[in-house]
């Protein structure tokens, strides 16, 4: 801080004694203004969402690799028998998942 004297001295405080705050700023007026601001913000967010939705093209699903396609050729629909499965295996009710 000794190398940068402007950082070591605090800024001068402002004199706010001549500033007046209007007394019409009641809670009702403030609440109305906040509600109007919220409504405007919601409208702008809806517009932005719609613009993003229209400008973003759909992403195509990635194609499986040749190895995966070869394995998928041999895929078969099977149902597991819980009575013949290993005791530590938990079979789903439809017998399709372990």
User: Residue 30 sits in which domain range?
Assistant: 26-55
Any domain includes 12: no
Q: pLDDT for 80-89, tens place per residue?
A: 888 888 889 8
Any domain includes 4: no
Any domain includes 40: yes
The domain tally of the chain equals 1
**Global model pTM greater than 0.85:** no
Using the CB atoms, write b or e for 13-22: b if 16+ within 10 Å.
eeeeeeeeee
Any domain includes 18: no
98: Cβ–Cβ under 8 A, 6 or more apart, which residues?
Answer: 80, 85, 89, 90, 91, 92
Rounded CA-CA distance 78/91 in Å is 12
* 17's tokens: 């004694």
Any domain includes 3: no
Any domain includes 41: yes
Q: Please check the confidence at residue 3 and state whether its pLDDT lies above 70.
A: no
Any domain includes 64: no
Q: pLDDT for 24-59, tens place per residue?
A: 767 788 888 999 999 999 999 999 988 888 877 878
Any domain includes 69: no
């Amino acid at each position: 801080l000794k190398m940068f004297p402007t950082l070591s001295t605090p800024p001068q405080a402002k004199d706010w004694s001549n500033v007046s705050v209007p007394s019409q700023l009641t809670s009702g007026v403030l609440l109305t203004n906040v509600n109007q601001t919220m409504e405007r913000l919601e409208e702008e967010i809806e517009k932005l969402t719609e613009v993003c939705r229209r400008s973003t093209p759909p992403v195509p699903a990635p194609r499986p690799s040749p190895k995966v396609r070869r394995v998928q050729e041999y895929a078969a629909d099977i149902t597991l028998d819980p009575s013949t499965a290993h005791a530590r295996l938990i079979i789903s009710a439809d017998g399709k998942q372990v």
